[in-house]
């Protein structure tokens, strides 16, 4: 089985590579650290399955999914992320992924997920499965993430963060104080269950690329 791992952190890539090489018979694992390198390596090895990080530095794993499809690759893909699945799993599946896993998952779970995705199965948690089924049956009136809890102002701040604006720039644009914007950011972070300001910025950036 040819496996392509795409992650911008070399230590993470190597850890996943050693794990999959040791646990999956006849696994031939190739690494890439960016979208450009991933496209080149995909052309070289014709992967049977891809394991892609959702956040690739300034790039997005969702963008890479699109690029791979446009380049003619249809390898089933498992998306890995530090972001809670309630925020991004459905977006990843809609972008073409066959599975979504948190990086905090146990190693044996990752190995099993790669095998299942390679067989064509969809790998998500029961919670995400239930949400997708509800949406298919017409009961998915809620937003695909915790954004439904955000106020109008908070959504505006989130959109501007995704466009690359700083708190000072957002304050100037919205005619509010920096302290007010920072309060909005804190509230957004709490409502979306994000653990840090960096995760908030990454979430906003990925959201803007839908």
> pLDDT tens across 64-106, in order?
998 998 898 889 999 998 877 766 787 788 888 999 988 888 8
Give the three-state DSSP class for 182.
Answer: helix
Give backbone dihedrals phi and psi of 117, rounded to 5 degrees, phi first: -65, -40
Contact 102, 54 (CB under 8 A): no
DSSP annotation of 33: S
Q: Which two tokens stand for residue 105?
A: 């998952």
Kindly list the domain boundaries of the chain, sorted by start residue.
Answer: 2-136, 146-207
Residue pLDDT, tens place only, 6-56? 999 999 999 999 999 999 999 999 999 999 999 999 999 999 999 999 888
pLDDT at 142 over 50: no
Q: What is the pLDDT of residue 136?
A: 57
106 HSE (CA, 13 A, CB side):
3
CB atoms within 10 A of CB 204: 22
CATH of domain 2-136: 3.40.50.2300
How far apart, in Å, are the Cα atoms of 99 and each of 19, 43, 93, 130, 186? Answer: 18, 22, 7, 15, 30
CATH 2.40.50.140 fits 146-207, yes or no: no
Residue pLDDT, tens place only, 148-176? 788 888 989 998 998 899 999 999 999 89
């Amino acid at each position: 089985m040819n496996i392509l791992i795409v992650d911008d952190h070399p230590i993470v890539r190597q850890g996943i590579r050693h794990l999959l090489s040791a646990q999956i018979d006849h696994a031939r694992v190739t690494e890439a650290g960016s979208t450009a390198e991933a496209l080149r390596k995909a052309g070289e090895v014709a992967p049977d399955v891809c394991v892609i990080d959702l956040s690739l530095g300034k790039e997005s794993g969702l963008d890479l999914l699109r690029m791979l499809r446009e380049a003619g690759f249809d390898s089933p893909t498992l998306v890995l992320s530090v972001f809670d699945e309630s925020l991004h799993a459905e977006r990843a599946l809609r972008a073409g992924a066959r599975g979504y896993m948190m990086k905090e998952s146990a190693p044996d779970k990752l190995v099993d997920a790669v095998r299942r995705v390679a067989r064509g199965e969809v790998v998500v948690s029961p919670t995400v499965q239930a949400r997708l089924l509800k949406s298919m049956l017409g009961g998915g009136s809620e937003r695909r993430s915790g954004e439904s809890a955000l106020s109008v102002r908070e959504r505006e701040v989130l959109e501007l963060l995704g466009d690359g604006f700083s708190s000072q720039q957002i304050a100037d644009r919205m005619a509010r104080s920096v302290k007010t914007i920072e309060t909005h950011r804190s509230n957004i972070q709490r409502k979306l269950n994000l653990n840090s300001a960096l995760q908030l910025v990454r979430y906003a950036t990925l959201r803007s690329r839908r």
